[in-house]
Chains A and B, each alone.
Chain A
Amino acid sequence: MGFLVGFFLKSGIHSRRTIWMAILSLIPVGCSLILWLVRTLLEREGVSLVSLYPQMSFFLFLHFLLPLMSVFIGAAVIADEVEERTLPYLITRPLPRRNIVLGKLMAGTLTVAFILFVSLALTYTLMMLSEGVTGWASNLKILLQSMGVLILGTMVYLPLFGLLGGILNRPVLAGLLFIFGWESTVGMFPGNAKLFTVVHYLHVLFPRMQQIRLRNAQSALLDMVLPAKQIAPITAILILILMSAIFVGLLSALLYIKEYRLEQS
């Protein structure tokens, strides 16, 4: 298994998709750099970048980069080998097909986690250092917590989008509809509808959510009429792990059941 993970990791590094994702991950770094420069050059000492960091990581990482990278890398888990016509080299080996799936998912998770970590750490550093080294060091827990949440999110989203990639002809489109349609829209519904989204459980675990949540009178009223079930962090972690296991299982089963008709050269 270790060899397979390394092999797929190397394969992922050479993929143009990964390079694009790495470039995309520089968006939050660029944003923080601009904020930092604006604050320094305009001498707006009153603007606290430290207080902006939770919002920044919430929107740009949890709601944008994580799902987007998961869609593009997850959808390619099996589809890449089919498109590149290299699948026969894998499935004519004495390898259980679940090992192929697990190897690809672990490599994908490591790739996404690494890119996100580098970007998150740079963003964190730029924003926290605006208030000195003490601020940087004292808030490290937030960085680690948010990174942990992002890794958990990757573990759920990658096999989910891998599954879509194995079933659908246009998995990226379906994935984008899912993250920017279902996850974003249903996540805003009052009541328990949000329990059917992945991102809701990630919200439960994300640090400083109370600072991030932007509430207005209407949504507060709706929440009073249709109160959402409160979920404990440990329950959220267990649910996310369960979801991940289900999607991995389904993806492995798919590779056993489904035949891939590769185009001949």
Chain B
Amino acid sequence: MKIDVLNLSKWYGQVIGVNNLNFIIEPGVTGFLGPNGAGKTTLLRLLTGQLKPSKGQVAIDGEIVWNNHEILRKVGYCPEMDAFWSYLTGWEFVCSTMRMHGFTNAEAEERSQKAIGTMDMAEAQHKRIGGYSKGMRQRIKMAQAIAHDPDILFLDEPLNGMDPLGRHTTMQLIKQLGQDGKTVVVSSHVLHEVEQMTDTILLINHGRLLAEGNIYEIRRLIDTHPLQVTIRCDNVNVLTAKLLEFDDVMSVQFDRERNQLTVETNRPDDFHLRLPKIALDNGIQIHSLWSPDENLEAVFDYLVR
């Protein structure tokens, strides 16, 4: 199923939510990538008919979405908001949403059972959602989105708060659904998450579409922007000396008190490949590694500059 977005704008008084978007989403997985507040959630709400476009239109398989409840039969939606009827158990929640979809009690139960199993929630299904961890709540939200086997899935930050195993399971599921010919739209503000699920992304910031297409092209754009990596290890001096031998390392700042150094590199992929070898060869134990620049806001600022 295809999603057509034509001249789509949404504004709230003077505030622009999304601004003149034009794109087509084909079957497979598509990632909406953008920092927090970029307009991804507003866009997903427009695509699911929760909001009326101020201008332009959204169509699924040629049918306008706004005020068209029949088209929602083919749609699954996992909202970003951590909100539930918390007195319900996970099972009751998924089952109820299936009944709202028009399934009989027996059908709803069968579908709920399957979806809950897929999301690895069978053990906790009869506990109240109010007592679930954030990761479990995310998984039960996913279960209600997939239980009716929709052709189109809109997932708003589905991996937020999930444990590593849950993230892996969910990412595999999303990829599988895309391979099965479903149209899956996933929003995220974390680049490497989206990278693991799809090659096709839409870069959104301040309600505008910055770039659209293959993730590698966008990756290349991002890679030209020097990346900062902060490493905490047991031998700051040796690691600094070794890293400075490479020409892609533009600068190193270190903090001996915290045993950490911040490296600026203009070839992040080479850097990431090289680092484990340096650590292994020199007996350096790396405690943690993170990249403040992976915060998309910084990358977007760089891209739009």
Q: Which of B69, B70, B71, B81 contacts A264 (CB 8 A)?
A: B81
Query: In the assembled complex, which residues on chain B have CB atoms less than 8 Å from the CB atom of A264?
Result: 41, 80-81
CB-based contact A94/B101 at 8 Å: yes
CB of B32 within 8 A of chain A?
A: no
Closest A residue, CB atoms, query B84: A86
CB-based contact B83/A265 at 8 Å: yes
Select the residue from A4, A93, A261 with max chain B CB neighbours within 10 A.
A93
Complex Cα distance A96/B72, Å?
A: 11
Query: In the assembled complex, which residues on chain A have CB atoms less than 8 Å from the CB atom of B11?
Result: none
Closest A residue, CB atoms, query B105: A3
CB-based contact A259/B70 at 8 Å: no
Q: Pick 13 A–B contacts, CB within 8 A, sort by A.
A: A7-B100, A84-B83, A85-B83, A86-B83, A91-B49, A93-B69, A93-B97, A94-B69, A94-B71, A94-B73, A94-B101, A94-B102, A259-B50
Q: Which residues of B in the span 27-86 have a Cβ within 8 Å of any Cβ on A?
A: 41, 45, 48-52, 67, 69-73, 75, 77, 79-85
Query: In the assembled complex, which residues on chain B have CB atoms less than 8 Å from the CB atom of A84?
Result: 83, 85
Closest B residue, CB atoms, query A262: B81
Complex Cα distance A91/B72, Å?
A: 9
Q: Which residues of B in the span 121-165 have a Cβ within 8 Å of any Cβ on A?
A: 144
Query: In the assembled complex, which residues on chain B have CB atoms less than 8 Å from the CB atom of A89?
Result: 79, 97, 100, 144
Q: Which of A7, A14, A94, A262 contacts B70 (CB 8 A)?
A: A94
Starting from the known contacts A14-B85, A84-B83, A91-B49, 18 additional A-B residue pairs (CB-CB under 8 Å) come to: A3-B100, A10-B87, A86-B85, A88-B45, A88-B50, A89-B100, A89-B144, A92-B48, A92-B49, A92-B75, A93-B97, A94-B72, A96-B69, A97-B69, A256-B67, A264-B81, A265-B80, A265-B81
**Distance of B138 from chain A, by nearest CB (Å):** 12
Complex Cα distance A94/B100, Å?
A: 8
Closest B residue, CB atoms, query A259: B51
Complex Cα distance A89/B45, Å?
A: 12
The 8 A CB mask of B74-118 against A (1 = contact, 0 = none) is 010101111111010000000011011110000000000000000
Query: In the assembled complex, which residues on chain A have CB atoms less than 8 Å from the CB atom of B99?
Result: 3, 7
Query: In the assembled complex, which residues on chain B have CB atoms less than 8 Å from the CB atom of A97?
Result: 69
Complex Cα distance A221/B41, Å?
A: 65
Complex Cα distance A241/B280, Å?
A: 81
Known contacts: A7-B96, A91-B50, A94-B101. The answer to whether A265 contacts B82 by CB under 8 A is yes
Complex Cα distance A11/B67, Å?
A: 26
Complex Cα distance A85/B71, Å?
A: 22
CB of A234 within 8 A of chain B?
A: no
CB-based contact A93/B52 at 8 Å: no
Complex Cα distance A89/B102, Å?
A: 14
**Distance of B182 from chain A, by nearest CB (Å):** 17
Query: In the assembled complex, which residues on chain B have CB atoms less than 8 Å from the CB atom of A256?
Result: 67
Query: In the assembled complex, which residues on chain A have CB atoms less than 8 Å from the CB atom of B79?
Result: 88-89
CB of A47 within 8 A of chain B?
A: no
**Distance of A12 from chain B, by nearest CB (Å):** 11
CB of A173 within 8 A of chain B?
A: no
**Distance of B83 from chain A, by nearest CB (Å):** 4
